[in-house]
Amino acid sequence: MKSSASTVVEMPRHVGLIMDGNRRWARAAGLARVSEGHRAGADHLEDVLGWLTERGIQHVSVYVLSADNIRKRDADEVAYLFRLIESVVPVQARQWSDWQLHIAGDLALLPESCATALRDAVEVTRNRRSHLTLAIGYDPKEAVRDAVRGLLAEGVDVEDDALVAAISDRLPGGPIKDIDLVVRTSGEHRISGFFPWQSQHAEIVFSDKMWPSFAEKDLDAALAEYTRRRRAAAS
């Protein structure tokens, strides 16, 4: 029989968040514009980061806007999202005391003013102890392709596990690439290309709550489910 110490499972080291349901939340709330849902969702991320910090989690990756979103969504909505990112992220970044910002995605897909604001936010937050990666203009296949191209350009000659590790090291984001827990809100049961390389071994928890309604107790429920699954796997 295994000792209880052998089955203790710590909190996830790296949490991924798919912030879904902003538009549906706005409609359900009777708001005149779905853009108000996006604004509420952006503000709510600040709350969730605070809860994660309180629980000792220092690595977080968040799906903000995929390359497909940029190419396929209504142009007016995408333009609003660009303005929201440009106005909110730099302000929040300067207010954070702990979070170092990383961007995963093709900033060439964004207006130059938005891309510049994000680059500036990355610089402002350098050398902080916690790591937040925002996926903006993100395409998972392009991310892996670029990592492999970088490896080839450097002339690195490795095989097998060392090759996998070398590709992982060159993917965008903070220093800890592997994601332990992915939480998606809004009741959708898919991950929509959310860091597939990094989340290969992650536990995935789907919440029926729309992102702006995702409460602290919902986060704790997701963390408890992660612990339950890992404890069961270790027993």
Per-residue pLDDT reduced to its tens digit, 20-70 = 999 999 999 999 898 999 999 999 999 999 999 999 999 999 999 999 999
Query: Looking at the domain assignment, is residue 214 inside a domain?
Result: yes
What was the pLDDT predicted at 2? Answer: 44
**How many domains are contained in the chain?**
1
Query: Looking at the domain assignment, is residue 71 inside a domain?
Result: yes
Query: Looking at the domain assignment, is residue 2 inside a domain?
Result: no
Residue of 22, 69, 139, 180 marked active site: 69
What was the pLDDT predicted at 48? Answer: 98
What was the pLDDT predicted at 156? Answer: 87
pLDDT tens digits for range 148-194: 999 999 998 888 999 999 999 999 999 999 999 999 999 999 999 99
Query: Looking at the domain assignment, is residue 224 inside a domain?
Result: yes
Q: Which range of residues forms the domain containing residue 26?
A: 12-234
Q: In the structure, what pLDDT confidence band is assigned to residue 207 with cuts at 50, 70 and 90?
A: very high
Query: Looking at the domain assignment, is residue 230 inside a domain?
Result: yes
Any catalytic annotation for residue 20?
yes
DSSP class per residue in the chain: ---GGGG--PPPSEEEEE---HHHHHHHTT-S-THHHHHHHHHHHHHHHHHHHHTT--EEEEEEEEHHHHHHS-HHHHHHHHHHHHHHHHHHHHH-SSEEEEEES-GGGS-HHHHHHHHHHHHHTTT-SEEEEEEEEE-HHHHHHHHHHHHHHHT----HHHHHHHHHHTSSSSS----SEEEE-TT----TTSSTTTTTT-EEEE-SS-GGG--HHHHHHHHHHHHHHHHHHH-
Residue of 20, 139, 180, 218 marked active site: 20
What was the pLDDT predicted at 9? Answer: 59
Query: Looking at the domain assignment, is residue 33 inside a domain?
Result: yes
**CATH number of the domain enclosing 67:** 3.40.1180.10
What was the pLDDT predicted at 4? Answer: 44
Query: Looking at the domain assignment, is residue 201 inside a domain?
Result: yes
Question: Is the pLDDT score of 93 beyond 90?
Answer: yes
Any catalytic annotation for residue 69?
yes
Query: Looking at the domain assignment, is residue 7 inside a domain?
Result: no
